[in-house]
A = this chain, B = another copy of it.
Amino acid sequence: MRDLSTDTAQLSLNAATVRKRWNLSQIIDGCARHGIGGIAPWRDQVAACGLDIVAQQIKDAGLRVSGYCRGGMFPAGTAAQRAANIEDNLRAVDEAVTLGSECLVLVVGGLAEGLKDLSVARAQVDDGIAAILDYARANNMPLAIEPLHPMYAADRACVNTLKQALDICDRMGNGIGVAVDVYHVWWDPELPTQIARAGRNSQILAFHVCDWLVPTSDMLTDRGMMGDGVIEISKIRNWVEAAGYDGQCEVEIFSAENWWKKHPDAVLKTCIERHQTVV
C-alpha cells in the first residue's frame, strides 16, 4: 500500500467537489496552486469553457486527468433516443481523448421514463456499451463502468454492484473496466472478492473517495469528506492497491449544505489533509 502521508501527486480532484463557486478554469488553477496532481472534469463544464482551451490549460498546469465525467445514460424509451445517446457517448470519447483522460467514466443510466423493467434497462446498457466500445478501443480510451449505489438504480444507474459491472466487462472483452467509488460500494459484502477479481484482469481504472455520513440527509447531495463518515477508506484502498491499482485517488464530493458552501481553497486544503491522513 502506498504511503500518501506527504503526497499530493496521487490526489485528483473531481471538479464537482468545488463547482458551485469556481468555474473549470478556476478549478484547474486551484489544483495547480495546491499541488494537486490530477483533475476529473465534467462535460458541461468543459463545454462552457471550450474543449481545446480546457485541454491546453490542464496540460500547461501539468495535471493528470484521472477520468472524464461522463459517458453512459444509455437507456431510453425509443430507438431514436438510444441511438442519440450512443452518438453522444462517441463524442464523449472524443473529448476524453482531447483532454488526455485516463478513462471515460460511464454512469450507465437507470429506467427509461415510464418503464419499470430493470432487465430491459440493463440490456440497453449492454447494447449501448457494445455500440461504443470498438470506437473507444480504436481511440485508446478505456471505458470505466462506475457501479452506483443501489439507491440510484431507478434514476441514475442500473449497474449497482462491482460484480455486475465486472460481469459486463467480462462479456465485452478488453478496453473496459470499472471505477471503484467507495461511496457506492462500501456496503457490499462481496467487495474484497470482487476487487481481487478485477485486479486479476487489470480492470480497476479509477478509485474515487468521499464518505458516507450518518445520518445522510439527501440521497444525492449529502456526501461527506473523507474521515467524516463510516467508510473504511484506507482498507478499501489497500484492497484496490493489492489488486494492482496504482492510479490516483479522486475526491468527488456532492455536498449542497456543507462543502459546496465553503471557499474552494479551504475545501482543497481539507481534501489534501484527509488524502494524507485517512485515505
A binding-site residues for B, Cβ under 8 Å: 111, 116-118, 122, 149-151, 153-155, 158, 160-161, 164, 186-189, 212, 214-216, 219, 230-232
Contacts and interface: CB of A to CB of B under 8 A. Distances in A.
Given A155-B215, A215-B155, A231-B116, A150 B187 contact: yes
Contact of A232 (B116, B122, B188): B116
A118 B216 contact: no
Given A187-B160, A189-B122, A212 B149 contact: no
Contacts of A215: 155, 219
29 contacts: A111-B230, A116-B231, A116-B232, A117-B232, A118-B187, A118-B232, A122-B189, A149-B150, A150-B150, A150-B187, A150-B188, A151-B151, A151-B216, A151-B219, A153-B186, A153-B187, A154-B187, A154-B212, A154-B214, A154-B230, A155-B214, A155-B215, A158-B187, A160-B187, A160-B189, A161-B189, A215-B219, A216-B219, A219-B219
A196 to B, nearest CB: 15
A111 B164 CA distance: 26
Interface of A, helix, strand, loop or mixed by DSSP: loop
One complex includes copies of this chain to the number of 2
Contacts of A150: 149-151, 187-188
A219 B219 CA distance: 7
Contacts of A111: 214, 230
A103 B214 CA distance: 30
A9 to B, nearest CB: 27
A25 to B, nearest CB: 32
Contacts of A151: 149-151, 216, 219
A147 B86 CA distance: 36
